[in-house]
Amino acid sequence: MSMKLIIGLFSCFSVYSQQIVYKLYVKNQCSNKIELSDLYQLEKDKEKFYPDSSGTIILSEKGIYKLISIETEESHEIKIESFVNSDTLTKPLITIFVNTADLFLKPNNKANRNKARLFHAARYSICDVLCNGLVKDYYSNGNLRIAGTFENGIAVGDLKEYYENGNLRNFQCTENFQN
């Protein structure tokens, strides 16, 4: 009887000890703090794994996984080969805010059209300060993420956004509507 108990306890311990833990951390470039992320997922063989409320994913096997980080807009192939695993990515320096509130201006003249465009224009900031001048931001791998010229947080002239692999994702030429 005691042998069955020992085998049962060993089996429970073996199953529990084979859990593989993964955590993703992100570095905030404004504060230089490293924070635990819960805005990511892992994928393997078309199966998706999501973090629990503590930001941890429990896996049943080691191997190659695809890491998709929503917070950093990045995806990487990672190798899980130990029981406790983690990675650290860098949060984008530039944040984008789009005002979606209604603006009650009738676009019946050029001044009102320009005010409406300014009101709804995407605003770009770095560490809660509106971007001004030529600004660039980079992915964790060193590739360019975004490059553009800004006035009071609004893109003026050419604005280029890139995929993580360096290919151009979006190009827009904007006008200065402040006049």
Contact in structure between 146 and 162 (CB atoms under 8 Å)? yes
85-108 tens-digit pLDDT: 999 999 999 888 776 554 444 455
pTM: 0.71
Q: What parts of the chain have a pLDDT lower than 70? A: 1-17, 99-121, 175-179
Domains of the chain: 2-90 (2.60.40), 94-174 (no CATH)
The predicted structure's pLDDT at residue 101: 52
What pLDDT shows up at residue 76? 92
pLDDT at res. 97: 78
Q: What was the pLDDT predicted at 99?
A: 62
Q: What local confidence, expressed as pLDDT, does residue 43 receive?
A: 97
Write down the pLDDT at residue 15: 46
Residue 108: what pLDDT?
A: 55
